[in-house]
A = this chain, B = another copy of it.
Amino acid sequence: MATTASGPITAGIDGASVTSELLTREDRVQLLRYMLLMRGVEERALNLYRQGKVPGSFYDGFGQEAISAGAAFAMAAEDRLCVLHRDLAAHLVRGVAPGRVLAQYMGRTSGLTDGRDGNVHFGDRRLGCVGMVSMLPDMMPVANGMALAFKLRGERRCALTWLGDGASSRGDFHEAMNWAGVSRLPVIFVLENNQYAYSTPTELQFAVDPIARAASYGVHGETVDGNDAEAVFAAAFEARARALDGGGPTLIEAVTMRMHGHAAHDDMRYVPAELVEHWRARDPVELQERRVIELGADAQELRADVTSELDAAVDWALEQPMPDPGSAARGVFCEGAAEPLGDGMAPFSGYTREAL
């Protein structure tokens, strides 16, 4: 078992008390809903991939749904996100329709990139999201730049991006962490420590868990249970408050496990079976489901709703045409005026309540 998996997971804040204070029952159901949607979209997409309808490689975030759902749920409409490859729920929280995601995966029009980019490399700029590039973790400096602009303009907003344990080894991690610390930027980095970078276990990636580095950059650091959406939410919500109040950047380590291979072709034979078993028992969707059932919500109905939403999404996506080959070289440059990112959805009731 990888070091971080066996080590104790200390939530930086008392998850239970914070969430009971902040999250309404409906919020907690919504969190489950986004996670179910993410899992469902990815299941459908995997099927489409196996049917040869999704070109290229197929990546998913199975078992990590709590991290993108929880963190994105803590963001306000005016915040900005750079979404990574195992973070589909963030797109959904921000308001991207599942059908568009599936069209995107299949390289069709009505996806988010008009066929120009593949399954995980997208973002809806109208919803305040920048899609990742493959080079990891290149979005960290980009998130810094958004945060820098907010700070310079005196706006109460923040930027958030995710990164992996493997990505933490690259220079851009360091340059971004360092600058975020120097300029006390309102930025949040969520490090998804899923024990592996492709086949590489964390012990070949770093000698000391990178969360230990946060303080040495002047960045607030904390570790949360990455399979607990509410714990992730709480950490991100607190980090956001810190950012807006001038308290500077936060690195949240969300400890989890990549429960599928790196991509669909990878049988992850290199992962010890006990490790997978250990984490299977901690499935983030089931955890949240148990929670809302305890709160008296009708999880079965929710699942049924999600299923029919997804059925419709698949049908819709399959109807979308492939892009026009004649357009292939178009759009390399912006010809009109530069339009900045727009606001996303912010379903957390705290923001709606405020807005009301």
The residues of A with any CB-CB pair to B shorter than 8 Å are 169-175, 178-179, 181-182, 184, 203-208, 210, 212-213, 215-218
Contacts and interface: CB of A to CB of B under 8 A. Distances in A.
Nearest to A184: B207
A37 to B, nearest CB: 36
Contact of A206 (B170, B181, B206, B213): B181
Indicate how many identical chains form the complex: 2
B204 A208 contact: no
A220 B174 CA distance: 19
Given A171-B174, A171-B175, A178-B169, A207 B213 contact: no
Contacts of A171: 170-175
Contact of A182 (B172, B174, B207): B207
Contact of A175 (B169, B204, B213): B169
A21 to B, nearest CB: 31
A183 to B, nearest CB: 9
Given A207-B218, A217-B208, A175 B182 contact: no
Contacts of A173: 171, 174
Interface centre among A179, A182, A204, A205 (most CB of B within 10 A): A182
A185 to B, nearest CB: 11
Contact of A178 (B184, B203, B206): B206
18 contacts: A170-B175, A171-B173, A171-B174, A171-B175, A173-B174, A174-B174, A178-B206, A181-B206, A184-B207, A206-B217, A207-B217, A207-B218, A208-B216, A208-B217, A208-B218, A212-B216, A213-B213, A213-B217
Nearest to A210: B216
A182 to B, nearest CB: 5
A82 B353 CA distance: 60
Contacts of A169: 174-175, 178-179
Contacts of A204: 182
Nearest to A180: B207
A339 B66 CA distance: 55
Contacts of A210: 216
Contacts of A215: 208, 212
Contacts of A175: 169-171, 174
